[in-house]
Amino acid sequence: MHAELIDGVAVSKKIRDEVAARCAALAARGVVPGLTVVLVGDDAASAVYVRNKEKQSVEAGMKGETIRLPASTSQEELLAVVDRLNADPAVHGILVQMPLPKQIDPQTVIRRLAPHKDVDGFHPVNVGKVLIGEKDGFAPCTPAGVQMLLQEYGVDTGGKHVVIIGRSNIVGKPMASLLIQPGKGGDATVTICHSRTPDLSWHTKRADIVIAAVGRPGTVTGDMLKPGAVVIDVGINRIADPTTKSGARLVGDVDFESARLTASKITPVPGGVGQMTIALLLRNTVRAAEQSIPAATVAG
């Protein structure tokens, strides 16, 4: 069999359309959601990603701003920018693009963000809220996007065994936190595998759903899967390919061609999870703007 493709492009468009409608409703009440991205240095991949964020936020009806700082920026200078944005009522979402130059500690910067403006969902307050199941915080965008893809394609996680490959604070850990919550999109039994896990295939062969997020091409192959498993490939890796104009192409952490012969559903790379991250970022930002309106105003 050939697995059904989980189309992240189509689902992300649906989310962006929803965000645009919510932005229009806020604009009618005099509120324009504002997302500010801070980019430190000249990392090429980060610059492309930030441009896409700014473009899509403006298309959705938001105020999308990018603050570009030189690679020589000190930690104190960056924290001063964060403090200014925290205090600006026109800014509802703040995202400091990673990676940061070596002289800046990323955790110090993340902890300086106002939790109600941390639309990336990495502040300890938001991490804790996701873990205990509170709904007023912000979940990291990539795991939230994976959860939404599963729901959109009718994958019931309740009672299912999910194997997550990768234990990062960005994907692996928050992904597990979302999937173990009671209710729709949760109720799963979760195993987290990582670089120190012996015999990875022993775990993946017993999984109903495999989520690969390690940043290593070919980590999961078709013979490592249970027939009919759902495969979510979070990895984005650039590998050499002399047949392409650029001399390289993007692949995930899953060997797509072999996995699609065993899986029932699978995300492609590109065109899968990557499309969801910015869409969920915009969704978090519009919710931050909605939450910034006093209850009395909302009621009126």
Residue where a domain stops, chosen among 103, 129, 155: 129
Provide the token pair at 24. 């229009």
In the numeric block, the tokens 């009672």 are attached to 159
| DSSP assignment letter at 117 | G
Tell me if residue 189 falls in helix, strand or coil: strand
pTM recorded for the entire structure: 0.94
> Does 191 lie in the same domain as 109?
no
> Does 148 lie in the same domain as 264?
yes
State the pLDDT at residue 296.
43
- Residue 53: active-site member: yes
> Does 146 lie in the same domain as 235?
yes
> Does 94 lie in the same domain as 40?
yes
By C-alpha distance, which of 85, 104, 72, 108 is closest to 35?
A: 85
State the pLDDT at residue 295.
62
Catalytic residue among 117, 118, 120, 253: 120
- The answer to the question of residue 11 being in a domain is no
> Does 269 lie in the same domain as 148?
yes
Catalytic residue among 56, 97, 147, 181: 97
State the pLDDT at residue 53.
87
Distance in angstroms (rounded) separating the CA atoms of residues 149 and 12: 9
Distance in angstroms (rounded) separating the CA atoms of residues 94 and 126: 14
- Residue 120: active-site member: yes
Provide the token pair at 94. 């703040």
- The answer to the question of residue 6 being in a domain is no
pLDDT in 10s for each residue of the chain, 300 residues: 689 999 999 999 999 999 999 999 999 999 999 999 999 998 877 888 888 888 999 999 999 999 999 999 999 999 999 999 999 999 999 999 999 999 999 999 999 999 999 999 999 999 999 999 999 999 999 999 999 999 999 999 999 999 999 999 999 999 999 999 999 999 999 999 999 999 999 999 999 999 999 999 999 999 999 999 999 999 999 898 898 888 889 899 999 999 999 999 999 999 999 989 999 999 999 999 999 998 644 433
- The total number of structural domains in the chain stands at 2
Distance in angstroms (rounded) separating the CA atoms of residues 194 and 225: 17
Domain of residue 106, residue span: 32-114+122-129
- The answer to the question of residue 288 being in a domain is no
